[in-house]
Amino acid sequence: MEIGDLLFAPEAGDDGQKNQPSPLLSLKKDLDFYRDAISEVSADIIGEGLSYHPIFIAHQHEVSLGEVILDKEELGTSWTIQAATLEEFVERGIIKPERKERFVKQYKDPKSFMCLFVIVPEGANFVFYPYKDGNKIE
């Protein structure tokens, strides 16, 4: 799933109201601001051999998963980002062990895309968001 798939609310209902932009538009804005920092953390996670599958948790409340790397309160932004790994997601039961290989096959190149686990009040979903203008981490 791409971030654009989440940006607009479902079609207008019988009440005739127009579609409203999703609050996830603020996530896109924050990700554009955070890209370089997330890219560096991803490269560190991979380079240090911690995981070949870094996952970044994007949320607006408290989450007890991973480690905070970008705090919305400190940065004056709307979303906090925490760094975790596929292995932690499996250990915590978020990804079932029998689904790990399927997840790995769906996982996009971490040098080109950040893997996000976006948590909103309605639920959570994985999203792959590209690093800016073809910039790849080394």
pLDDT at 17 over 60: no
Q: d(Cα 13, Cα 17) in Å, to the nearest integer?
A: 7
Judge contact between 103 and 117, C-beta under 8 A: no
The pLDDT score that the predictor gives to residue 137 is 47
- CA 3, distance to chain mean position in Å, is 9
The one-character DSSP state at 21 is B
Q: Which of 75-89, 92-106, 124-138 has the lowest mean pLDDT?
A: 124-138
Residue carrying structure tokens 């590209």 = 130
Interval 57-67: pLDDT, tens:
999 999 999 99
Q: What is the pTM of this model?
A: 0.81
The pLDDT score that the predictor gives to residue 2 is 47
pLDDT at 51 over 70: yes
Distance between terminal CA atoms of the chain? Answer: 24
